[in-house]
């Protein structure tokens, strides 16, 4: 067998495997990487859950830079992957460019709206979930000061902070809420050391409950809070297990459900605008054996009460992104 | 006293270096339970297998030609400009300002305007390190690398406020207006039914890069200025004795170098993204160093080396898409190749030189 034959044989084999991969779903992770213990990992868990339940396989990619986004979407679309799920708002611009070129492929994007006939846009009411954990934080606080560590300073993260401050103020009008952002670049999603420093600074200002909405940076926040014996609140995925008994709760943003739903729907994915709220259990807070001993009955009663009011429409929480201002917090 | 024939220096050494890096990468892939042969086939298919993949490979190649040329022009004056990254960032800013705030009637005029802006901004960013080197002797390596960070900080500031789209979560400017759109290879080479280079980012800038190769070749070997740059590079004292002002040559060489690095932005900012994003250079400035070293600072060598790195970039991206290899490992493989071709030159050169010497002795 000559080298050329070998080469052709190998490429034919590759073409065949590429053929069988067609119509599998694909998932594209954002820059934090799929093991960020938070947003991306939640998306990854959703995909894994789908794979475990159906026995199917899916294509995935962790990109290295912004420049690769459009290329990644196109390559998956060309290979016949369907649907293609994207985790993160940064995918919106490349997707808006690409979607029209592949009208038969269904796309799902999480955290941003792309107006195209073959795209499902999934957005979360993070302010509602943050409101609930804000209430719990204010009730757990003994010093009357709670704090927030955000990742990159963007409207989406301010939305978390604003909901959190409103919830805290609802149970204790005199509460002090300290809010800090890790940075202004995407590197802020993955800087646990800076997260840890910010937490220490907030503790020195009297905070005894800290809420991290910062992707991979939050790992440092939760670690420092546990080291310094104050309570912390995780985000996106259930992070209660990271430090059992020291993480008050986690504000759940069921990215995993959004990914799982999209993959389950397959090529018949219903497109359009999809809001995940407290009412449809898209956002909420995590209760499990790890935090059961530290969450009091009063906290649960208040939080569940507020959740019921939100679902019925009696209680509406201000959304920072609606007018870029927050009644409960100054940035 | 050349111990080796020219072809061995220019072709054999880089080839052996790449082979060594490839062998090491293959072991790395094996240790992760992947088949290295599949990976190689995937890389070659993914970067040369179709007009589409060529479109990506040539897009990356265009970036690396500009940054490689930038490093080489400075290197002929023995100046090690490792600030290509920062100069390209500033070039991108120049392109963005030119495209956003000037109402261009047609892309042919727009590309002249944006190229001028890119070159001016890139050169301006090289100006301060250059004048510090020329007048004060501050080492160019230190100052240019520090200027990379300042450039990143400056762009970060601008994209967080002054030139950002209000209310957007992304750190990016608005999309450039339609008349600034540069024709892509798809638009240039598709006739009637046949669609070539479909959706690939390679664009007309590739030809500007080729023209830049010729221009640099002409400048270095066929002009008085090029002679002065090379003389200064070979010996400063001799250059001074011949009446060449080192200050002037350092300044001119660095300004040309910065302008070339800045002009990369025509390709990635105006040609591909059509808006300015934070991470637009994505390491191309540093790859330029490896490209120039590998291309032996000759424009034709740089063109070939840029093509090789374009292949590595595009092929690496393909592996990331289709094999379950962590993205960190892709970086390790790319780094291995840079290490072998750039830094470990002597590792291959010394045994080869000994081999050629013994061959010559055997002949005589």
Report yes or no on whether pTM surpasses 0.90: no
DSSP assignment string, A50-107:
HHHHH----EEEE-SSGGGHHHHHHHHHHTT--SEEEESGGGHHHHHHHGGG-TTS-E
Q: Which residues of A touch B41 (CB under 8 A)?
A: 7, 10-11, 14
Can you give the pLDDT at residue B339? 85
Q: In whole angstroms, what is the distance from residue B117 CA to residue B119 CA?
A: 5
In a domain, B182, yes or no: yes
B63 in any annotated domain: yes
The most confident of A94-98, B25-29, B93-97, by mean pLDDT:
B93-97
Question: Is residue A234 classed as helix, strand or coil in its secondary structure?
Answer: strand
Task: State which H helix or E strand residue B290 sits in.
Answer: helix B284-294
CB contact under 8 A, A66 and B320: no
Q: Which residues pair with A107 in a beta bridge?
A: A84, A119
How close, in Å, is residue A9 to chain B by CA atoms? Answer: 10
Label residue B120 by pLDDT band (50, 70, 90). Answer: very high
* Rounded-to-integer distance, Cα B364 and Cα A285, Å: 85
> Is residue B92 assigned to a domain?
yes
Residues of chain A with pLDDT under 50: 1-22
Per-residue pLDDT of B296-306, as tens digits, reads 899 999 999 99
A65: chain B residues, CB-CB within 8 Å: 279, 282-283
- pLDDT exceeds 80 at position B334: no
CB A35 within 8 A of CB A41: yes
Interface test with A, best of B321, B325, B328, B330 (most A CBs within 10 A): B321
Domains of chain A, each with CATH number or no CATH = 16-124 (3.40.50.2300), 127-253+287-320 (3.40.50.2300)
Output the domain CATH number for residue B219. Answer: 1.10.3470
User: Testing the interface with A: which of B275, B320, B323 to mutate, by most A Cβ within 10 A?
Assistant: B320
Q: Which residue has the higher pLDDT, B12 or B268?
A: B268
DSSP string, A211-230: EEE-TTHHHHHHHHHHHTT-
Residue in A with minimal Cα distance to B268: A67
What pLDDT band is residue B283 in, cutting at 50, 70 and 90?
Answer: confident
B38 chain-A contacts, CB cut-off 8 A:
10, 14
Residue B35 is assigned to a structural domain of this protein: no
Chain B residue numbers with beta carbons less than 8 Å from the beta carbon of A12 are none
Q: Say how far apart CA B287 and CA B65 lie, in whole Å.
A: 10
Q: Which segments of chain A does DSSP mark as H helices, in order?
A: 3-20, 39-54, 69-78, 92-98, 126-140, 155-171, 192-204, 217-227, 255-265, 297-312, 320-323
Q: Is residue B32 part of a domain?
A: no
Q: Mean pLDDT in chain B?
A: 90
Phi and psi at residue A109, in whole multiples of 5°?
A: -125, 135
What are A255's two structure tokens? 């990215």
Nearest by CB to residue B199, choosing from A66, A101, A324, is A101
Asked, for residue B237, whether it belongs to a domain, the answer is yes
Q: Which domain holds residue B192?
A: 54-306
Give me the pLDDT at residue A37, please: 78
pLDDT tens digits along B200-233: 889 999 999 999 999 999 999 999 999 999 999 9
Q: B163-210 pLDDT, tens per residue?
A: 888 777 788 899 999 999 999 998 888 777 777 887 788 999 999 999
Q: What is the pLDDT of residue A179?
A: 95
* Segment holding A210, helix H or strand E: strand A209-213
Chain B contact for A186 (CB, 8 A cutoff): yes
Predicted complex: ipTM over 0.95: no
**What's the domain count of chain B?**
1
Cis before A195? omega within 30:
no
Q: Can you give the pLDDT at residue A198?
A: 96
At residue B57, does pLDDT exceed 80? yes
Residue scoring higher pLDDT (B86 or B35):
B86
The pLDDT value recorded for residue B2 is: 65
Burial of residue B43 (CB within 10 Å: 0-12, 13-18, 19+) is buried
How many A×B Cβ pairs under 8 Å?
Answer: 80
pLDDT of A90 reads: 87
The confidence score (pLDDT) of residue A242 equals 93
Q: Shortest CB distance from B167 goes to which of A75, A101, A155?
A: A155
Contact B278 A156 (CB under 8 A): no
B312 located within any domain? no
For residue B343, is it within any domain? no
B272 → chain A, closest CA residue = A67
Instruction: Say which of B160, B172, B317 has its CB closest to residue A68.
Output: B317
């Amino acid at each position: 067998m000559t080298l050329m034959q070998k080469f052709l044989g190998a490429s034919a084999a590759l073409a065949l495997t590429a053929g069988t991969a067609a119509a599998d779903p694909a998932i594209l992770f954002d820059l934090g990487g799929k093991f960020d213990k938070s947003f991306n990992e939640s998306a990854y868990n959703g995909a894994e859950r789908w794979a475990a339940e159906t026995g199917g396989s899916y294509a995935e990619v962790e990109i290295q830079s912004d420049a690769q986004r459009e290329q990644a979407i196109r390559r998956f679309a060309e290979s016949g992957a369907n649907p293609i799920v994207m985790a993160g708002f940064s995918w919106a611009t490349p997707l808006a460019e690409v979607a029209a070129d592949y009208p038969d492929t269904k796309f799902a994007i999480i955290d941003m709206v792309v107006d195209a006939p073959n795209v499902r846009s999934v957005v979360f009411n993070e302010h509602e979930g943050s409101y609930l954990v804000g209430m719990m934080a204010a009730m757990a606080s003994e010093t009357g000061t709670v704090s927030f560590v955000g990742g990159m300073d963007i409207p989406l993260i301010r939305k978390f902070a604003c909901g959190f401050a409103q919830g805290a103020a609802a149970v204790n009008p005199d509460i002090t809420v300290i809010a800090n952002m890790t940075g202004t670049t995407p590197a802020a999603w993955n800087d646990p050391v800076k997260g840890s420093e910010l937490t220490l600074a907030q503790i020195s200002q009297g905070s005894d409950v800290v809420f991290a909405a910062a992707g991979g940076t939050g790992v440092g926040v939760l670690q420092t809070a546990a080291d310094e014996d104050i309570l912390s609140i995780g985000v996106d995925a259930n992070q209660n297990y990271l430090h059992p008994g020291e993480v008050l709760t986690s504000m759940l943003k069921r990215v995993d459900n959004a990914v799982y739903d999209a993959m389950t729907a397959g090529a018949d994915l219903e497109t359009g605008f999809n809001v995940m709220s407290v009412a449809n259990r898209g956002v909420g807070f995590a209760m499990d054996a790890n935090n059961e001993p530290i969450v009091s009955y009063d906290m649960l009663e208040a939080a569940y009460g507020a959740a019921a009011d939100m679902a019925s429409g009696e209680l509406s929480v201000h959304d920072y992104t609606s007018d870029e201002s927050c009644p409960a917090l100054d940035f | 006293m050349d111990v080796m024939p020219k072809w061995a220096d220019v072709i054999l050494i880089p080839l052996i270096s790449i082979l060594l890096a490839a062998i090491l990468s293959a072991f790395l892939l094996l240790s992760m339970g992947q088949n290295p042969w599949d990976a190689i086939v995937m890389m070659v298919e993914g970067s040369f297998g179709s007009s589409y993949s060529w479109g990506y490979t040539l897009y990356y190649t265009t970036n690396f030609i500009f940054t490689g040329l930038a490093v080489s022009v400075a290197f002929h004056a023995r100046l090690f400009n490792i600030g290509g990254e920062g100069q390209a960032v500033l070039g991108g800013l120049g392109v963005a300002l030119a495209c956003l705030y000037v109402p261009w009637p047609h892309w042919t005029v727009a590309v002249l305007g944006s190229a001028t802006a890119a070159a001016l901004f890139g050169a301006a960013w090289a100006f301060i390190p250059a004048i510090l080197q020329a007048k004060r002797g501050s080492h160019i390596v230190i100052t240019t690398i520090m200027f990379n960070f300042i450039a990143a900080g400056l762009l970060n500031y601008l994209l967080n406020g002054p030139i950002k789209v209000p209310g957007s979560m992304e750190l990016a400017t608005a999309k450039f207006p339609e008349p600034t759109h540069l024709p892509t290879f798809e638009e240039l080479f598709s006739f009637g039914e046949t669609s070539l280079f479909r959706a690939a980012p390679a664009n007309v800038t590739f030809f500007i890069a080729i023209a830049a190769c010729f221009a640099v070749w002409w400048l270095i070997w066929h002009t008085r200025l090029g002679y002065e740059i090379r003389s200064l590079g070979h010996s400063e004292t001799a250059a001074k004795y011949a009446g060449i002002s080192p200050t002037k040559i350092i300044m001119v060489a660095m300004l040309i170098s910065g302008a070339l690095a800045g002009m990369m932005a025509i390709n990635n900012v105006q040609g591909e993204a059509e808006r300015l994003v934070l991470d637009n250079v994505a390491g191309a400035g540093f790859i330029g160093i490896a490209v120039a070293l590998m291309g032996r600072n000759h424009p034709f060598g740089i063109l070939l080396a840029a093509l090789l790195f374009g292949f590595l970039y595009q092929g690496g991206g393909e592996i990331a898409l289709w094999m379950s290899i962590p993205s960190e490992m892709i970086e390790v493989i790319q780094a291995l190749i840079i290490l072998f071709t750039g830094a470990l030159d002597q590792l291959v050169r010394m045994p080869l030189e000994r081999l050629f010497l013994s061959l010559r002795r055997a002949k005589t």
